[in-house]
Amino acid sequence: MSSVPRLVIAAPSSGSGKTTVATGLMAAFAARGLAVSPHKVGPDYIDPGYHALATGRVGRNLDAYLCGPELIGPLFAHGARGCDLAVVEGVMGMYDGAAGEGELASTAHVAKLLRAPVVLVVDASSQSWSVAALVHGFASWDPEVRVGGVVLNKVASDRHEALLREALDAAGVPVLGVLRRVPQVDTPSRHLGLVPVAERRAAAVEAVAAMGAQVDAGCDLEALLALARSAGALSCAAWDAAEVLDSSPPPPLPSPTLGFARAGGPPSSLGAAPPDPRFGPERASSSNAGRADFARPNSKVKVAVAGGPAFTFSYAEHTELLTAAGAEVVPFDPLHDEQLPDGTRGLVIGGGFPEVYAAELSANEPLRKAVGALAENGAPVAAECAGLLYLCRELDGLPMCGVLDATARMSERLTLGYRDAVALSDSVLAVAGTRMRGHEFHRTVVEPCSGAAPAWGVRAPERRVEGFVQQGVHASYLHTHWAAEPGVARRFVERCRTS
């Protein structure tokens, strides 16, 4: 059970100021000596980096599409354990969720799952009395969502503030903060959103401090803390990597690939997939029926995980699962380290921005050769998005690791969204037929898009095959959350041990 006080920070739309208010609240409360647990609704990797700076704790994601609604409470309780307060930054507009899935994975959905009050951040720059109608609509749309107050952003003057407060007083919604229209805090963006913290450490620290000062000056922190304390208790147990591995099912037997041919063939059917019990009401997360205890070996196996400015996208639970499965997780920086850590038996290369650092990555020839040799020897390699690009022959004409017979280049087209996928080939992560949900977020193209043994058959939003499985390599654009399928980490570490 978790009774940690908590707030969900939402907005009518993107660009309203959620990140400023959420990060500022985290920093302001942390400066007052509170242990603040930072969370982000959705799959975004970048905002949690700023949250971590503000709180001194790992930023964690709460994604009801990737992980299933029933894991939101346990994952929250895991991250917030021992904290005085949790602040959850929402995603997009409050009721915007996975396309075609109703409220699934929306900020409102997560707020309900957490029994948390919502603070609505409103860009008031071009309105006065109309703000009451806007807030009333959001507060009354779903009676299960409790909007406990409003923070008004980009307010022009004392007169403007008075008009807004008068309107909202008539609507019966408390004003918990007012942020004036000031020059934007220095949080530069580029083709995939904010520049990650790891690329601008000193400037990012200054930006977070500025957000904290702005929120501290403009918000009623005592009223916000009182609202957070009104959150309902959560009855679920906290997620624990070792416990879920102990009760995780053994690697499944190969099963039909849901209308896709295996090993690179074209889709053989456009029929609907059978229901996925992980994401429907029939899933019983407390049941251990058909499960097998996981015996963890005493000796650790070394798994190198790419980091540094070029590879910043990772969920904290992945490292926790690998560690619980028996791995010694060792980070390295492909921009600067010329060799993999001594004794590396497996390699994880997550997302990030290799396209920004292509020249530096290419110039580190010793490491490129070391990665290529590790893959050639059959060691397990799991690569997502940026990792996929790094394993190609070249990226924007510059030599990369050459593990995959493919080339990568930047593109003007943004590829973004949730994906429903099925593993098409047995790999170090899963057997063919395993259902997973994932997320894509990139402006690059890999040609060809898949190898002789594709990694995934993507079922939605359009049917296609994607990614590469060869020897011990699993490389794909798809970002997945291993908490939804702990057996992925278990299988990967077992393969590291035996390869």
- By annotation, the residues acting in catalysis are 385
Q: 356, 52, 350, 67: which is closest to 192 by C-alpha?
A: 356
List, in order, residues 6 or more apart from 113 with CB less than 8 Å away.
64, 69, 72, 73
Angle, CA of 339, 341 and 344, to the nearest 5°: 110
SS3 (DSSP) at 124: coil
- Pairing state of beta strands 468-470 and 456-460? unpaired
First to last CA, the chain: 41
List, in order, residues 6 or more apart from 344 with CB less than 8 Å away.
302, 303, 304, 330, 374, 379
The residue assigned the tokens 């000796």 is: 299
Core vs surface per residue 358-384: b (16+ CB within 10 A) or e: bebbbebeebbebbeebbeeebbbbbb
355 vs 252: CA distance, rounded Å:
36
Residues in the chain: 499
494 phi/psi in degrees, rounded to 5: -60, -40
Q: 234, 235, 252: which is closest to 486 by C-alpha?
A: 252
The dihedral over CA atoms of 343, 347, 352, 357, expressed in degrees to the nearest 10, equals: 60
Q: In the chain, what are the helix, strand and coil shares in percent, each to the nearest 5? A: 30, 25, 45
> Is there a cis peptide before residue 448, judged by omega within 30 degrees of 0?
yes
Is residue 177 within 8 Å of 218, Cβ to Cβ?
Answer: yes
- Pairing state of beta strands 301-306 and 327-332? parallel
List, in order, residues 6 or more apart from 140 with CB less than 8 Å away.
none
Is residue 442 within 8 Å of 415, Cβ to Cβ?
Answer: yes
Residue 431 CA neighbour count, 13 Å, CB half: 9
Is residue 134 within 8 Å of 11, Cβ to Cβ?
Answer: no
